């Protein structure tokens, strides 16, 4: 997260007057700064007190806690929807009333317009009452347009802010829950699932809040081969969903034309004359109803259904077991620190064999207590019980004073070593220097643990980004066909309105001349008008549906292609990329950004294209009818252009900062809707919105163009049996972990002969692990590394790496069964798997699991001890039966007895010629 200044600016909204709040003018100072220079985090305003995460989260948490208690009392499942409604129903009601007022002004406008046109049709210079009525209608129409513009954007701003408040509150609850999950609950979820909740599911609230309000309006008016099948199924579902959305938007474009067509055809069949006032009133009224009935209502149904699914997932997460504070932390009495009496505890409540049973001991000040035992004996579980993470089923635990805990597995966060040591505490120089000297960390004080920030995009979306996005899934001929279909649809759309007006004028001329509808010439002319109008209506519908489905097809395929390319690129990225980019950032690309491309961008682009072409068509028709209208259009276009530029300079920077600063994210809503007041033209609003929404695409495309490792396979591949001896030679090898980094290995020469074991010793940072990195080509070495006289850089990475086995200090396990962790590609029999487990002394342990080999492992194997995880990884290594085995402190968390037996197993297999071991001690 970006550093935020201690002197955060107070939000001007707190002191804004009524007019400033009404027209969102209070945000203009931020626009001025963004116009002059690039925005920085310190330019952001502080969050309003009522929008603070803690306030919002605790408020919703209170309603959720009450709902959980009521559900327990009533013996039912708690409902997160009920908690949300109880917390926010007043806000829903208030802004829902604004929606009724807004739509009321839209419905009244056609009535005023019809009366004005009727006055012109029946013009009588002597009728002063009609003139005054026309003036009144003109004033009423102007007032309705102004009131609608203010209410519309005021409603959308506040309803989006309400969605933001709900999203922040739920994020607070999820984050709070994640910090309190018990170990058993952590086995039921994964980091990816939590990231998905925080990135994808909570975003439904921003979209859904607007949709819920619009319901009221209608009342008024995979990793490659393993996951490829699942991925294809998901893409298929997304494509079907996109086609349905496309049909919905096509109906938004065409349904009003169909309704108008049916109305006037019925009018014609009833032998009624069509007048200009009727045409304008009917067309305008149907256009007003079109948004509510064919856009907002179906969108509301869709968003509400999506939100219900997301709320269900969030609810399931919030109902996971938490760590309960089993005992209070007692003040130090100077006599006793820890007192445990008859402690019995289990991680799984249903387990017949407790993890800890009948433990009793006391620790006094000044004593050092060491706990020893075999792998899986419960050493770490005992510490968890002292920390309160493992609740006792029997017995008593008393802890006096504060606890300092150093876990078996190190944990650091992005930043300097100094910031990791202080961990938010106040810096005291003497104490700090004493600590780093005791830990021998003087030379590492200012080293970055990982690079915490990526290079941020400028936020300016260029034409190349659009081209790469649209052409990622289809070829140019399809794009050209889409352009032609859009032009044809809009031409038919505009011609239909123009022809209807022409038809009305023809009938008026015939009426005033005195022709009867029964005259043969009149019948011919009217039938001709009817036939052309029918053809234009059919063309409008067909072209509208075609372009809607086509744009969804193109963009969903583009999203799929970019996703696959990003996955392929990341799988081939060097290890340095994963050191520089936290897993959360990478997951965010695959969850939030790709989800944005799947769900929002096709809708946004279709809406933008329709609005843009509609604006061009309307302006064209107006200029053709009244050329003088071109005079105000030109200066208004220039003003609109500069307002667009004024807005985008700030909006892009806020969007750019959004991914790294939580405070900035709140301003995305405010800045966007501030611009909507400044730029009233709907086309401009859609254009500005679409420009901002392309930034996730830019981030995805950035991840499709990463530096890659060398090729996985090369021509002239070695025979499958080679290398088959395991002879390793280093000849003048230099190695850097990154191209511009210092040498980790310098002029290394040496050989490792088959059938022997080698131990590499040295102080921290001497380059022991760098030898392994050079051998596996995690970065390309200089000089020559040979395996059985084969130069490692002359073969593909797959052919090189699959001939070597490595067991690391940090075990690598994934969510799935024990069988899948041992044999991910189903290459071995059950007998071979059990034999491998027996060789690492784990067979009896796995046999005692309820599911044996089909036991589900939690994320990273958290339901196993660290020593057991290392042994599982070692068993997986043994199964590969390669001639080269590299062990990097692979039994460091295994007790000496198990370690000695495992080493004996490796010794026997090595003597039998099955292993040639290369060991990193």
Cβ-based neighbour number of residue 627 at 10 Å: 9
Helix H segments across 572-681? 575-580, 583-588, 594-599, 601-625, 630-658, 662-678
In this structure, what are the phi and psi dihedrals at residue 758, rounded to the nearest 5 degrees? Answer: -125, 135
Instruction: Quote the pLDDT of residue 511.
Output: 65
Sheet holding 804-807, edge to edge: 758-760, 917-920, 884-888, 804-807
**CA geometry: angle 17, 22, 23, nearest 5 deg:** 105
Distance in angstroms (rounded) separating the CA atoms of residues 315 and 310: 8
Distance in angstroms (rounded) separating the CA atoms of residues 327 and 387: 10
Cβ neighbors of 314 (< 8 A, separation 6 or more) are: 80, 170, 174, 197, 201, 202
Q: Given this chain, do its domains 329-444 and 728-920 carry the same CATH topology?
A: yes
Domain segments of the chain: what residues? 53-68+75-222+229-319+462-629, 329-444, 728-920
DSSP 181: B
Distance in angstroms (rounded) separating the CA atoms of residues 836 and 818: 12
Instruction: Quote the pLDDT of residue 221.
Output: 39
C-alpha gyration radius of the chain: 35
Q: What dihedral do alpha carbons 770, 776, 779, 782 form, nearest 10°?
A: 80
pTM > 0.75: yes or no: no
| Strand-strand pairing, 917-920 and 884-888 | parallel
Tokens of 483: 């352009």
Q: How far is CA 529 from CA 496, 502, 526, 533, 712, in A?
A: 11, 9, 5, 6, 68
Phi-psi region of 888 (alpha: psi -120 to 50; beta: other; left: phi over 0): beta
Three-state secondary-structure class, residue 815: coil
Topology annotation, domain 329-444: Rossmann fold (3.40.50)
Q: Which of 178, 175, 170, 182 is nearest to 321 (CA)?
A: 182
Strand partners, 918: 758, 886
Mean pLDDT by 10 residues, the chain (921 residues): 54 87 85 84 84 90 92 90 90 84 83 82 81 87 85 84 89 89 76 81 68 45 44 67 75 76 76 71 76 76 83 90 70 80 80 81 87 81 83 84 80 77 86 86 58 50 85 90 90 84 75 63 78 88 88 88 90 83 81 82 84 82 79 82 79 63 41 39 45 80 87 78 81 86 86 83 79 87 87 85 81 84 86 87 82 80 79 85 78 60 55 43 42
The structure tokens 């805990």 sit at: 405
Instruction: Quote the pLDDT of residue 413.
Output: 74
Asked if the 728-920 domain carries CATH number 3.30.479.10, the reply is no
Q: Is 730 exposed, middle or buried (0-12, 13-18, 19+ CB in 10 A)?
A: buried
Instruction: Quote the pLDDT of residue 481.
Output: 92
Instruction: Quote the pLDDT of residue 473.
Output: 85
Question: First and final CA of the chain: distance in angstroms?
Answer: 37
């Amino acid at each position: 997260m970006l550093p935020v200044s201690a002197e955060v600016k107070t939000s001007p909204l707190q002191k804004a007057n009524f007019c400033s709040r009404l027209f969102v003018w209070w945000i203009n100072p931020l626009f001025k700064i963004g116009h002059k220079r690039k925005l920085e985090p310190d330019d952001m305003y502080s969050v309003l007190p009522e929008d603070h995460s803690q306030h919002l989260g605790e408020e919703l948490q209170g309603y959720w806690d009450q709902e959980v208690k009521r559900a327990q009392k009533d013996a039912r499942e708690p409902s997160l929807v009920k908690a949300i409604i109880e917390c926010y129903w007043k806000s829903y009601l208030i802004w829902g009333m604004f929606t009724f007022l807004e739509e009321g002004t839209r419905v009244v406008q056609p009535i005023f317009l019809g009366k004005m046109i009727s006055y012109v049709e029946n013009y009588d210079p002597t009728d002063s009452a009609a003139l005054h009525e026309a003036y009144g209608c003109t004033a009423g129409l102007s007032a309705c347009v102004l009131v609608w513009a203010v209410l519309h954007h005021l409603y959308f701003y506040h309803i989006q802010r309400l969605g933001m408040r709900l999203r922040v509150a739920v994020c607070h609850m999820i984050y709070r829950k994640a910090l309190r999950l018990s170990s058993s609950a952590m086995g039921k979820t994964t980091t990816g699932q939590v990231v998905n909740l925080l990135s994808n599911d909570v975003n439904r609230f921003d979209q859904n809040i607007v949709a819920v309000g619009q319901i009221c309006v209608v009342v008024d008016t995979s990793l490659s081969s393993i996951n490829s099948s699942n991925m294809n199924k998901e893409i298929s579902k997304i494509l079907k969903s996109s086609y349905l959305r496309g049909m919905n938007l096509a109906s938004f474009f065409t349904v009003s034309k169909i309704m108008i067509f049916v109305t006037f055809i019925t009018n014609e069949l009833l032998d009624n004359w069509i007048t200009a006032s009727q045409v304008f009133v009917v067309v305008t009224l149907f256009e007003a109803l079109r948004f509510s009935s064919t856009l907002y209502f179906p969108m509301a149904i869709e968003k509400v259904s999506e939100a219900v699914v997301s709320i269900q997932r969030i609810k399931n997460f919030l109902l996971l077991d938490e760590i309960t504070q089993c005992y209070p932390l007692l003040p130090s009495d100077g006599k006793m620190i820890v007192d445990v009496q008859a402690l019995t505890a289990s991680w799984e409540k249903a387990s017949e064999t407790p993890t800890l049973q009948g433990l009793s001991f006391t620790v006094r000040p000044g004593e050092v207590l060491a706990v020893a035992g075999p792998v899986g004996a419960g050493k770490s579980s005992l510490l968890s019980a002292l920390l309160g993470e493992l609740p006792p089923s029997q017995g008593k635990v008393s802890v006096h004073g504060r606890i300092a805990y150093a876990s078996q597995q190190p944990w650091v966060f992005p930043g300097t070593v100094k910031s990791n040591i202080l961990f938010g505490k106040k810096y005291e120089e003497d104490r700090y220097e004493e600590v780093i000297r005791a830990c021998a960390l003087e030379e590492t004080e200012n080293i970055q643990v990982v690079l915490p920030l990526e290079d941020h995009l400028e936020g300016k979306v260029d034409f190349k980004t659009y081209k790469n996005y649209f052409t990622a899934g289809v070829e140019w001929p399809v794009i050209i066909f889409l352009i032609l279909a859009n032009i044809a649809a809009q031409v038919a759309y505009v011609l239909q309105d123009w022809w209807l007006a022409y038809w009305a004028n023809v009938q008026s001329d015939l009426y005033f001349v005195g022709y009867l509808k029964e005259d043969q010439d009149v019948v011919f002319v009217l039938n001709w008008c009817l036939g052309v109008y029918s053809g234009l209506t059919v063309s409008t519908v067909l072209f509208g549906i075609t372009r809607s489905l086509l744009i969804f097809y193109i963009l969903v395929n583009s999203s799929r292609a970019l996703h696959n390319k990003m996955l392929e690129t990341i799988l081939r990225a060097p290890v340095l990329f994963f050191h520089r980019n936290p897993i959360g950032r990478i997951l965010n690309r695959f969850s939030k950004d790709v989800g944005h491309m799947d769900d929002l961008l096709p809708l946004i682009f279709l809406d933008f294209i329709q609005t843009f072409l509609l604006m061009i068509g309307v302006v064209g028709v107006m200029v053709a009818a009244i050329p003088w209208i071109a005079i105000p259009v030109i200066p208004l276009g220039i003003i609109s252009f500069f307002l667009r530029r004024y807005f985008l300079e700030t909006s892009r920077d806020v969007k750019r900062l959004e991914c790294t600063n939580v405070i900035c994210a709140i301003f995305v809503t405010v800045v966007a809707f501030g611009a909507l007041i400044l730029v009233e033209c709907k086309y401009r609003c859609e254009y500005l919105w679409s420009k901002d929404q392309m930034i996730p695409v830019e981030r995805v495309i950035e991840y499709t163009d990463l530096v890659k490792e060398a090729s996985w396979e090369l021509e002239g591949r070695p025979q499958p049996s080679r290398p088959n001896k395991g002879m390793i030679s280093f000849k003048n090898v230099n190695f850097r972990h990154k191209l511009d980094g210092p040498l980790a290995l310098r002029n290394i020469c040496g050989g490792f002969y088959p059938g022997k074991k080698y131990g590499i010793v040295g102080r921290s940072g001497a380059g022991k692990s760098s030898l392994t990195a050079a051998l596996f080509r995690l970065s390309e070495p200089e000089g020559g590394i040979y395996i059985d006289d084969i130069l490692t850089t002359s073969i593909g990475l797959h052919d090189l790496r699959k001939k070597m086995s490595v067991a690391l200090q940090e075990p690598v396990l994934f969510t799935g069964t024990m069988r899948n962790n041992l044999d991910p590609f189903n290459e071995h029999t059950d007998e071979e798997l059990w034999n491998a487990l027996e060789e690492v002394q784990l067979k009896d342990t796995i046999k005692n699991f309820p599911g044996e080999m089909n036991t589900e492992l939690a994320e990273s194997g958290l339901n196993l001890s660290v020593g057991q995880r290392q042994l599982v990884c070692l068993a997986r290594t043994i199964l590969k039966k390669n001639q080269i085995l590299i062990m990097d402190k692979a039994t460091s968390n295994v007790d000496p007895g198990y370690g000695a037996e495992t080493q004996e197993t490796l010794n026997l297999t090595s003597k039998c010629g099955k292993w040639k071991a290369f060991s990193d001690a």
